[in-house]
Amino acid sequence: MLFSSSDSLPMNYADLARSRRSIRGFLPEPVPQALLEGLLETAREAPSGANLQPGRFWALQGEVRTRLSDALCEAVRQQVPPREEYGYFPQPMPMQLRKRQVAAAQALYRSLGVARGDAAARQVQFERNYRFFDAPVALVVTLDREFGSGGFMDLGMCLHGLLMAAHAQGLGACAIGALASYPEIVRRELGLQDSEVVVCGVALGWADPLAPDNQTQTEREPLAQYFQVLS
């Protein structure tokens, strides 16, 4: 049984999953190292093929974190072309998926009060990805290049476990796919081997209840759209 830190009442998995949100506004209070390590140990309980447990988590602090964020933001400002090492979005994007993507972006910018044509404000918000939304904990997630597609699937389950474990402890988190846009910069600034594929980042900490972007809600497709019984 999982527990909500807000009221100490039992929370079943369905309630926990439905109440989780991507958190982009954080309080400055630090996350104890022991708590972070416990979350990662819990996340690592996720299933993986042949128990290979793929993926690594790199916690960034101090000068290293600042240097990486500055380098990534500068790349965006200089319009350096992204160079992702794995395909995340379909190319081309089907219209029904494009509508979901647009709706998610609109929900975020609407919560922030950013107008559709305000390119400068949207740029500022986008760069917050590379500042890990000023969260107390900034993680970079990588996967050994030798893994096949199954490694991404198993690592995804581990990431889901991390987000849910954090939520169960009253913490907020947000996975940051934008970090994969500039893998060479990430590896260079962190001193990582070329064998490490940059999968994403994770911002984690105590959610700021007054942050407007934390009020963003996205909808899920109805069951009939993705589940069918064949007989």
Summarize pLDDT for 133-162 with one digit per residue, the tens: 999 999 999 999 999 999 999 999 999 999
Rg, C-alpha atoms of the chain = 18
DSSP 64-87: HHHHHHHHHHHHHHTTPPP--SS-
Residue 170 inside a domain? The answer is: yes
Domain count, the chain: 1
Q: Give me the pLDDT at residue 43, please.
A: 97
Residue 181: pLDDT over 90: yes
Residue carrying structure tokens 């389950």: 157
Q: What is the pLDDT of residues 186-221, one digit of tens each?
A: 999 999 999 999 999 999 999 999 999 898 888 899
List the structure tokens of 60.
């960034």
The arithmetic mean of pLDDT across residues 103-118, rounded, is 86
* pLDDT interval class at 223 (50, 70, 90): very high
The CATH code of the domain that includes 27 is: 3.40.109.10
The arithmetic mean of pLDDT across residues 164-185, rounded, is 97
Separation of alpha carbons 17 and 138, rounded Å: 23
Q: What is the pLDDT of residues 59-90, one digit of tens each?
A: 999 999 999 999 999 999 999 999 999 988 88
SS (H, E, C) 164-216: HHHHHCCCEEEEEHHHHHCHHHHHHHHCCCCCEEEEEEEEEECECCCCHHHHC
Residue 45: pLDDT over 70: yes
Residue 97 inside a domain? The answer is: no
Residue carrying structure tokens 């807000």: 6
Percentage of the residues of the chain whose pLDDT score is greater than 90: 79
Q: Are 175 and 200 contacting, i.e. CB atoms less than 8 angstroms apart?
A: yes
- The whole domain housing 165 covers 22-86+129-216
Q: Give me the pLDDT at residue 6, please.
A: 47
Residue 160 inside a domain? The answer is: yes
DSSP 118-159: -HHHHHHHHHHHHTGGG-SEEEEEEEETT--HHHHHHHHHHH
Residue 163 inside a domain? The answer is: yes
Residue 221 inside a domain? The answer is: no
The pairing of beta strand 137-144 with beta strand 172-176: unpaired
Complete edge-to-edge strand list for the sheet that includes strand 172-176: 56-60, 137-144, 196-205, 172-176
Residue 226 inside a domain? The answer is: no
Exposure of 99 by Cβ count < 10 A (0-12 exposed, 13-18 middle, 19+ buried)?
exposed
Q: Give me the pLDDT at residue 1, please.
A: 31
Q: Give me the pLDDT at residue 115, please.
A: 85
∠ Cα 89 73 196 (to 5°):
55
Residue 185 inside a domain? The answer is: yes
pTM given for the model: 0.91
Computed over every residue of the chain, the mean pLDDT equals 92
Residue 156 inside a domain? The answer is: yes
Q: Give me the pLDDT at residue 117, please.
A: 84
Residue 3: pLDDT over 80: no
Residue 229 contacts by C-beta under 8 Å, 6 or more apart in sequence? none
Q: Give me the pLDDT at residue 10, please.
A: 53
